[in-house]
């Protein structure tokens, strides 16, 4: 599997890029907004006139099916960008963005970000990188849903989470402010019961430990080897 996330836009160095551009820093970083856990940043059918950059926290992106069941399409964190559809269309939003934990984001107006892209080739390149990553993510996720079983999808999600935001502590890796079993189920198109069963099995094998606020991977190599064995089945 590629080293990029199936469910996240690859973290881009937009923060440092903007900080090296004095006009961008003055114009765009002035409007920082804090959202409490559970608060919505935007909802379906709202205008697509802003784009967002995450300074801290986690933001959940998703949609609702006809039966009003929540479908999570991404779980984003510091360094990620969302709402980027505002740059390419004026259509109403089809998804929602919600703070999974207390979060802080910077809000860019559509016209200002377009101006910045036209004046700064680096920003334009980074935005194109975001869009190309989105396409690859959707292709990888579709392949995963079609060809891989639920256990494989869950374990791959853990590995991708470690790759993106895991903190190494000795020989172990910590994921802080880890998401709920239901959120993992929504992201991997499985049930909460299946997620709980897989995580409990991994804990019983002493591969991981977890509580409500964090997940600890005690044996990363063994976790990776499970993927290899599942692929051979």
Domains of the chain: 14-139 (2.60.120.10), 148-232 (1.10.10.10)
Q: Which strands form 81-82's sheet, in the order they lie side by side? A: 32-35, 103-109, 50-56, 81-82
* Token pair belonging to 96: 């929602």
Angle CA 25–34–100, to nearest 5:
120
Burial bucket for residue 110 (CB in 10 Å: 0-12, 13-18, 19+): middle
pTM: 0.75
Along the 233 residues of the chain, how does pLDDT read in single tens digits? 333 333 333 445 566 666 555 444 435 444 889 999 999 999 999 988 888 988 889 999 998 877 677 888 888 888 888 998 877 777 899 999 999 999 999 888 888 888 878 877 887 787 778 777 777 877 877 777 778 899 999 999 999 889 888 889 988 999 988 888 998 998 888 999 999 999 999 999 999 999 888 999 999 999 999 987 776 65
pLDDT of res. 219: 93
Burial bucket for residue 134 (CB in 10 Å: 0-12, 13-18, 19+): middle
pLDDT of res. 222: 93
pLDDT of res. 29: 45
């Amino acid at each position: 599997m590629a080293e990029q996330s199936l469910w996240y836009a690859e973290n881009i160095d937009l923060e440092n890029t903007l900080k090296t551009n004095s006009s961008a820093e003055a114009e765009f970083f002035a409007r920082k907004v804090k959202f409490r856990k559970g608060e919505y940043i935007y909802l379906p059918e709202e205008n697509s006139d802003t784009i967002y950059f995450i300074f801290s926290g986690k933001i959940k992106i998703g949609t609702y099916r006809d039966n009003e069941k929540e479908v999570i399409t991404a779980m984003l964190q510091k360094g990620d960008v969302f709402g980027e559809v505002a740059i390419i269309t004026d259509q109403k939003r089809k998804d929602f963005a919600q703070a999974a934990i207390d979060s802080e984001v910077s809000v860019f107006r559509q016209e200002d970000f377009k101006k910045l892209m036209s004046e700064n080739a680096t920003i334009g390149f980074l935005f194109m990188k975001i869009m190309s990553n989105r396409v690859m993510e959707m292709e990888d996720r579709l392949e995963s849903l079609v060809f891989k079983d639920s256990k494989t999808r869950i374990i791959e999600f853990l590995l991708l989470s470690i790759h993106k935001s895991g903190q190494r502590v000795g020989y172990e890796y910590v994921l802080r402010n880890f998401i709920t079993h239901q959120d993992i189920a929504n992201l991997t198109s499985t049930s909460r019961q299946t997620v709980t069963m897989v995580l409990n099995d991994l804990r019983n094998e002493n591969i991981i430990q977890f509580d409500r606020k964090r997940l600890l991977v005690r044996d990363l190599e063994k976790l990776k080897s499970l993927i290899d064995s599942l692929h051979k089945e």
